[in-house]
Structure 1
Amino acid sequence: MTLEQQADPATPSAASTPPKRRSRRDEILEIAVGLFAARGYHGVSMDDIGSAAGVTGPALYHHFAGKEAMLVAALIPVSEGLLAGGRERVARHPGEAALASLVEFHVDFALANPAVIALHLHELDRMPEDPRRQIRRLQRLYVEEWVKVLTRIRPELTAPEARVLAHAAFGLMNSTPFLGGEVNRERLADLLRVATMAALRDTA
């Protein structure tokens, strides 16, 4: 998952910091995620992934033991990154600013990772029990960061009510795998942020 880097006077600028080169493993994983999202987990073989990545069978298995390992490697870091990013934003911002920061953070993630979202929606149940339970736990903790903020700025909400709103917001923001390319990214981000904030605010 790509987390936005926050500007800091003590941090070297992007212009002076060379971008980190992606590993071959990361490149293969990105190709596998795209294939899984497009064709479904069972519609893709290791040979398909190797062919798309230009990697022979033995070299591919050097990086991953199999498709299950790729699924785990794709989804657990995403859940960990969302939780870490959500907690950081809640800790840094007071009141409604925390909600706006969470929405911006998640919309940026959703726009950058539609294939990962599609993979999560359709293939999570195919994972082995232990990593699946780990992902579910990380997701619950991430939801609770949203619940914490919503009940703080809207004290009339109970925690279960705030949880309903948080999941509804995720439905809006995680719609990116199903959106066409008719609207440019910047405008799409604006639309998703505005729609999500409207769904979460008390407008009655």
Structure 2
Amino acid sequence: MTTPRTSTRNRNRRTEILEAAAGLFAARGFHGVSIEDIGGAVGVSGPALYRHFAGKDALLAEMLLDISSRLRESAVAVVTSASGPAETLDALLNVQITFALEQPALITVHDRELGNVPEQERRQIRRLQRLYVEEWVTVLAELHPLCPPPRLRAATHAVFGLLNSTPHSAGELPDQAMRPLLHAMARAAIDASVNVH
């Protein structure tokens, strides 16, 4: 029987492995990293990782499923608790900005390596991402009821592209300066996109 302490230790070890793997995959690419490299980054032998993951592709799949799920859950929490659509949009922007500033390696890994995720898990990731986008579209539709949903969806994807550019600008500005800059640019991009005729 697994005790709570053992379960927490295993979860912490899995998180440590996922974080190390994200950094390695971002720096060297999925195919440029071995199980032994990941093990070495967390201070264990490569084969010891098989106690936590079935293989490198399973590790990649869990990494991207986890962040896709967490973003969706954060959006649902925001949408169900915010007081109105303008406040909800600001909160959604803050969720995405926090992710963009804190997880640039995951952004790089997703952009470059999603094709290396097994097909079943890749479909799950895509589904979670679509649901996340629809949370945004629902809020934007309340703010801009005359704007067609396809345009709102396109605007949402464009804003993600803007915010998720952080792997290219990491370190240029401190977070306390970068956060309001990204927020202002994203709001301006949304306003511009819904007002185009």
Match of 1:10 in 2: none
What's 1:144 paired with?
Answer: 134
Identity over the aligned pairs, expressed in percent?
49
Report the Cα distance in structure 2 between the residues aligned to 1:72 and 1:120, rounded to whole angstroms. Answer: 10
Which one of the candidate residues 74, 83, 95 is aligned to 2:63?
74
Counterpart of 1:100 in structure 2 is 90
CA–CA separation in structure 1 for the residues paired with 2:133 and 2:147: 15
TM-score normalised by structure 1 residue count:
0.86
Gaps of 5+ in 1: 1-19
SS across alignment from 1:157: coil
Q: What is the aligned partner in structure 2 of residue 153 from structure 1?
A: 143
Displacement after TM superposition at 1:114 (Å):
0.7
- Runs of 4 or more, structure 1, over 6 Å off, are none
Q: Which amino acid aligns with 2:66?
A: P
Partner of 1:180: 170
Aligned length, in residue pairs: 185
Q: Secondary structure at the match of 1:201?
A: helix
**What's 2:157 paired with?**
167
Structure 2 residues not aligned, in runs of 5+? 1-7
Structure having the larger proportion of residues in helix: 2
Partner of residue 194, structure 1: 184
CA contact (8 A) 2:30 2:113 kept: yes
Separation in structure 2 between the aligned mates of residue 52 and residue 144 of structure 1, nearest angstrom: 37
Within 2, Cα distance between the matches of 1:107 and 1:182? 16
Equivalent-residue separation in structure 2 for 1:50 and 1:87 (angstroms): 35
Match of 2:72 in 1: 83
In the TM superposition, residue 77 of structure 1 has moved relative to its aligned partner by 1.3
2:28 aligned with 1:49: no
Q: Deviations over 1:126-174 (max 9, x none)?
A: 1111000000001001100111111110112100010010001100111
